[in-house]
Structure 1
Amino acid sequence: MFLFRLVFGLLLVAGLLCFAMYLGTRQPVWRRRGIVLVKWTLIAAAGFFAVLILERLAMLL
């Protein structure tokens, strides 16, 4: 579970840094990288919540 939190946090920080670089430089490559990182952050969040739900289900059974 710690691994999911770490990956989620690092992806979120990296995405924010990419968008900050885009605002500073106006180079579209940073915007594209930020969008890709936000997509992966959402996938990591979905995985994290799936693990939480599965843990809860395992306790019930």
Structure 2
Amino acid sequence: MLLLRFVLVLLLIGSGVCFAAYAVTRNTRYLRWGWMVLKVALAAALGFFGILFLERIL
């Protein structure tokens, strides 16, 4: 669980860095990467909370 939390935090930080790079350079490549990383982070968060929910039930 700790590893999954660490990966999730790294994904969110990476997404924030991409959005900041877009704000500085106005290069749309960073905006696309930021959205892609954010989608993966949200999927990982849903998986993480799904695992927590299943642990509570079982």
* TM-score, scaled to structure 1: 0.92
Task: Tell me the C-alpha RMSD between the 2 structures.
Answer: 0.5
Q: Which structure has the greater CA radius of gyration?
A: 1
Write the mapping of 1:1-61 to structure 2, written as runs, cut at 5 A: 1-58=1-58
Distance 2:46 2:4 in 1: 10
Q: Any stretches of 5+ residues in structure 1 without a counterpart?
A: none
Q: What is the CA deviation profile of residues 20-44 of structure 1, one whole-angstrom value per residue up to 9, with x for unaligned ones? A: 0000000000000000000001000
Provide the identity percentage: 45
Q: Structure 2: which 5+ residue stretches go unaligned?
A: none
Q: How many residues align?
A: 58
Between the two structures, name the one with larger relative contact order (CA 8 Å, sep ≥ 6). 1
